[in-house]
A and B are shown apart, each in its own frame.
Chain A
Amino acid sequence: MVEFQFIDWFWVIMFLIITVGIGVAFYRLGKRSQSDFFLAGRGLPWWLPASSVYATHTATDTPIWVTGVVYKYGVAGLWYTFFAAWCAISAFVSTRIFRRSLTYTQAEWNTFRFHGLGAEMLRGWISGWQVFMNMFILGWVGIAMGKVCQYLFGWDLWIGLVVFSSLCAIYVLAAGYWGVIMADFQQGIVAFLMILVVSVWGITAAGGPSTIAAKLTSMGEAWRMNPFAFTGWFDGDFPVAWFITMMVIAIIGGFGMGTSIDWYVEAQRIQSAKSVRDASYSIWWGTALVLTRNSVWAAAILGFYVMFPNIASQSDYEMGWFRLGFEYLPVGLIGFFFAAIIAIHVSTIASHLNLGAMYFTRDLYLHYFKPKASEKELVWVARIATLILLLGSFFYGLMMEDITSWLIFALWLMAAGIWLPNILQVVWWRFNAWGYLSSWIANLGISWLVVWILPHFNILPVLPDYQQFWLLMLLGALVFLPVTLLTKHEPMEHLVKYYVQARPIGWWGPVKREAQRLGLLAHVEMKNEGGK
């Protein structure tokens, strides 16, 4: 337990007033229309959504998770966090294509890219899934805050969950995405500064960088400073084969949409940027901050390791970075540190509240229930959806005593079997709604089989996660490729419209030629070879 002094509580209360106040101050802008409530009117310069990308992906459980993998694997554990690098390619490929679609959500994008009943079924499925997933993530992140508050003050779990998510909901309800983005900017700065301060403080407490290196060497554990310290090509729990799989998933995944669960959050930031260029830079720089932040944490966690090298319990060593802050910072700064933790927490909560509400309002309520709804009505529906998501997150959070394995499974559902279809929908004109829909349905069944059922009956061994990924991808392809090729492609008129507006990359030859034949594209003689 940590004892706060007056100055510590002063920082915390000041921060809460400022962060809620900044969000609420944009009430008038947020209530103007659904475009304002969900996308801040599509007029943001790149650095605002970039700060939101960074702030959203800095959640209460993020330092716990990063500490866990770095404490276990040394600096090489950073590769676990490298999945964020899908933005390396996405920033200049799928982000550009998605921004040109102008669709609010990934669910809406399906009716832009595909056509007819299949497209509508995809839209309905993805929007429902996203409403559920956002509530799930809110509960997961919320209960992590409950655990941090229990660790710090001995509070019951529900207090940390309910109090801070509710305070955050004030400005999300009032100003929607305007509130989210403005608060994220301020919260991102506070969080980044405090991550730097605590990490440098922790490194200093461990004796400084030279002492950390010397101690690790004397302990025979200098490998912990090697970013490429793997356990073999295929052996051990951290092999090169895992690393290569991660590189493929992360980097090549950038050609697609939805290859990472973070895409759904980023998609909203992409559409809120004022131009294609701003959208690209917002995604690139937000992710660059995320990756370098992880590096700062990793250096501090090595310091924690040399001070406390023999912690066997994962749940104990995962709190390492928080311990550096609360055990070594002086009075006053501890309160500021807790304020930064609140910033880290509410920035994530706010984003998912607004995102889940957008899928409900735009894709379910407006598109399927009441297409004639006025802008004013839609803003109110968005607020009610926000409130329901908040209450639902309390329910999920409190029932998640041990959700990690379920959550990892849910993320597999999102990532493994549909990873390739998520790329194909962008790069291959022939891929159609039925192929994509079949990949989702097949993935639901196949992932259960590969991850849970077949190993339970000893028909298949329990595979390492990277092998599960390749197997799920292969089995999924055996379903969606025949379905795609045995059903008709989307109507050419629809594909041409899509192509002219979005200008996708990849195998779009027949569609491009048809667009040129119709005079919808200027024929361009490129001076270099890449554009032919």
Chain B
Amino acid sequence: MGFIRRSWTPGEADEWTKEDWIAVVLSAASYILLMVGTVLSFLLNIWGFIILALGIASTYLMHWIIDPKLKTVSEEYEKKQHQYLENLEHKVRWEEIHG
């Protein structure tokens, strides 16, 4: 699926891209499909099983699209986290932040 990017550099992953937008659309669709599909499946309605299957497929696709980007964002951010946490503590205690 060349349209979807699955390999990211840290700088690229920090940008908001079409993969994020596709993920949030699929995410909302997944919630609707899972909720409606589950209740109708419990009532043994054939449409319920179809909608639930679509919800599961949509969830899988969302994960497939967004996970590589989230991994890259997380790995890069964690390298800087310690310094950011120190700054946060200085700020809450009204101390000067250097650097």
Contact with B along A224-248 (1 / 0, CB 8 A): 0101000000000000000000000
Selected from B15, B28, B44, the residue in CB contact (under 8 A) with A531 is B15
Chain B residues with CB under 8 Å of A100's CB are 77
User: Which one of A3-11, A274-282, A348-356 is at the interface?
Assistant: A274-282
A299 and B20 contacting across the interface, CB-CB below 8 Å: no
List residues 53-102 of chain A with CB under 8 A from any CB of chain B: 75, 78, 82, 85, 88-89, 91-93, 96, 100, 102
Question: Which residue of chain A has the shortest Cβ distance to B37 in the bound complex?
Answer: A295
- Contact between B24 and A277, CB atoms less than 8 A apart: no
A108 to B89, CA, bound (A): 11
Residues of B within 8 A of A212 (CB): 43
A227-B39, A276-B73, A296-B42 given; A92·B92 CB < 8 A: no
Number of A-B contacts (CB under 8 A): 146
A209 touching B43 in the complex, CB below 8 Å, given contacts A92-B24, A103-B88, A292-B38? yes
Q: Does any Cβ of B come within 8 Å of A291's Cβ?
A: yes
Cα of A455 to Cα of B58 in the assembled complex, Å: 45
Interface bin, chain A = 35 or more
SS of B interface (majority): helix
CB of A191 within 8 Å of the partner chain: no
In the complex, the answer to whether A88 meets B27 with C-beta atoms within 8 Å is yes
Q: A476: CB under 8 A from chain B? A: no
Instruction: Please give, as numbers and ranges, the residues of chain A lying within 8 Å of B24 by CB-CB distance.
Output: 88-89, 92-93, 254
**Contact status B77-A280, CB under 8 Å:** no
The majority secondary structure among interface residues of chain A is: helix
Using A88-B31, A276-B70, A276-B73 as known contacts, say yes or no to A371 and B17 having CB atoms under 8 A apart. no
**Complex interface: chain A residues within 8 A of B88 (CB):** 102-103, 108, 112
Contact of A225 with B43 at beta-carbon distance under 8 Å, contacts A85-B31, A284-B27 already known:
yes
Known: A501-B84, A528-B18. A295 touches B74 (CB 8 A): no
Pairwise interchain contact A288-B74, C-beta atoms closer than 8 A: no
Task: Check if A299 sits within 8 Å of B77, measured CB to CB.
Answer: no
- Please give the distance in Å from B71's CB to the nearest CB on chain A: 6
Knowing A75-B39, A225-B43, A298-B39, say if A528 contacts B73 (CB, 8 Å).
no
- The digit string for A289-305, where 1 denotes a CB below 8 A from any CB of B, is 00110111011101000
Cβ-defined contact, A367 with B42, below 8 A: no
Verify B74–A277 contact, CB threshold 8 A: yes
Q: Does A310 contact B (CB under 8 A)?
A: no
Q: Chain A nearest CB: distance from B95 CB in Å?
A: 8
A230 to B: closest C-beta gap in Å: 14
Contact pick for A102, options B16, B28, B39, B85, CB 8 Å: B85
A251 within 8 A of B: yes
Other than the given A213-B45, A530-B17, 10 more pairs (CB < 8 A) read A88-B27, A108-B92, A209-B43, A210-B44, A227-B36, A280-B70, A292-B35, A522-B11, A530-B20, A531-B12
